[in-house]
Amino acid sequence: MSPALKVVYLGPAERTQPAILARLARELGFPSWFGHNRDALFDLLTGWVAGPLRVVWRTTPAVRAALGDDYAALRQTLLDAAAMRDDLAVVLLEDDGQPDPSRPLRVAVGGLGATGAFVARHLQHGIPGLALVAVASVAPRAVAARRLAASVPPPSLVSLERLAELADVVVACVPCRWFPTVAAPAVELGRLLVAASAVPLAAEPGLVRRAGATGARILVAGDAVPGLELLRAAAATGVDRVRLSLHRPPRARDPRPDAGEATAEPAAEPEARLLFAGDGDGGLRGPPEVAEAAASLRLLGIAASRIHLELWADPGGDDERKELSVEARGCRFTLTLVGGRTPWSRPCARQALLALLHRIATPLAVGS
């Protein structure tokens, strides 16, 4: 079996030669002093690191100005090392600064399941200000290619790791275990990351902290909690208690698109039956719909102890129902959302994701 490809990302967070050299050494599994100068870096890349390697370095005008003459010297060192090794690739992404308003933002979609394919199709049909340039799938390449067969023009089909190299905006529609593969490069390269689900992001708090250093932004399409905009405003001043009760008819559940397994529902009962109750931390380990709500609330900065979540199998109607009650320091409100018969086709989730993409490129955004 051939050795796995190692990919190292350098982004706008590193603005001095010592910081860049030290980070490269650490990412390659060596103490930072292994990269104490450019000659040591060259020796490290050409003689100490085994197996295929890819170094991706994104710079902005501010980074290049801060580096001065060191930028050209570092750039040449990397290229010289790549010339010495057939299995070393160096990718230099030199941004020009402020985006050209006349040029659409480049979008890449990770995951071609139900949600990812939905987003890719809408981007292909046209969202003003956005252009689909690349997609990646966890499915075999031949399967992904068939899903793209009707796309005109077809976007590039690349690996999950390469999406952030090609796009300004990376949309992550992959199962939780693949999320870091898509999200980490986007954060390191200072891209705009759009997450279709809050759950994998809640499990990777380091990504949010790292985004603060690299200049990346992370947006989450939230449909699991009704009235999220009101709740976000309340969270800005302090939330004392959030109670979210999810009711759905007891029936067979389809698997959540792009995540999880199908689970069987017990036969309908005459009385509502409590399937889950817990706080914000317990909710993250609960059923998928509960976990999504818990993750969204925790990412808003609401303490787990202030969150109470319930999931009910309720034979009292044919529709899904969500009941939200919030007590905040500046207000108090209750909302009820009644959904359709097929919540696990997640039409609301996909529409929320689509609305978020429209919001990115529009010159006017209404609401918080």
User: pLDDT, tens digit, for every residue of 251-289?
Assistant: 634 444 444 333 444 555 678 899 999 999 999 999 998
For the domain made up of 105-223+349-361, the CATH class stated in words is alpha beta
Q: How would you classify the pairing of strands 273-278 and 307-313?
A: antiparallel
pLDDT value at residue 355: 85
Residue 201 sits at φ, ψ, to 5 deg, of -70, -40
Give residue 309's pLDDT band: very low, low, confident or very high (50, 70, 90): very high
Of residues 256 and 355, which shows the higher confidence score?
355
Q: Kindly state the percentage of the chain with pLDDT values over 70.
A: 88
Three-state secondary structure readout of 69-129 = HHHHHHHHHHHHHHHHCCCEEEEEEECCCCCCCCCCEEEEEECCCHHHHHHHHHHHHCECC
> Which among 91, 52, 61, 67 is positioned nearest to 15, based on CA atoms?
67
> Which among 41, 40, 49 is positioned nearest to 10, based on CA atoms?
41
* CATH no. for 6-94: 3.30.370.10
Is residue 31 pLDDT above 60, yes or no?
Answer: yes
pLDDT value at residue 262: 39
Question: What number is the average pLDDT over the span 24-39?
Answer: 83
pLDDT value at residue 254: 43
Mean pLDDT of the chain: 85
Question: What number is the average pLDDT over the span 14-34?
Answer: 87
pLDDT value at residue 342: 44
Q: Which residues contact 268 (CB under 8 A, 6 or more apart)?
A: 249, 250, 251, 315
pLDDT value at residue 367: 61
Whole-model pTM: value is: 0.83
**Cα 164 to Cα 84: distance, rounded to the nearest angstrom:** 26
Is residue 179 pLDDT above 90, yes or no?
Answer: yes
Give kind and range of the element (H or E) at residue 10. strand 6-10
pLDDT value at residue 33: 73
For the domain made up of 228-343, the CATH class stated in words is alpha beta
SS3 131: strand
Tell me the domain boundaries of the chain: 6-94, 105-223+349-361, 228-343
pLDDT value at residue 147: 72
Which of 100-109, 306-315, 336-345 ranks highest by mean pLDDT?
Answer: 306-315
Long-range contacts of 164-167 (CB under 8 A, 24+ apart): 164/9, 164/108, 164/188, 164/189, 164/191, 165/56, 165/91, 165/93, 165/189, 166/106, 166/108, 166/133, 166/134, 167/106, 167/107, 167/108, 167/133, 167/134, 167/191
| Cα 155 to Cα 60, 168, 194, distances in angstroms | 26, 15, 18
Is residue 358 pLDDT above 70, yes or no?
Answer: yes
Is residue 65 pLDDT above 90, yes or no?
Answer: yes
pLDDT value at residue 35: 66
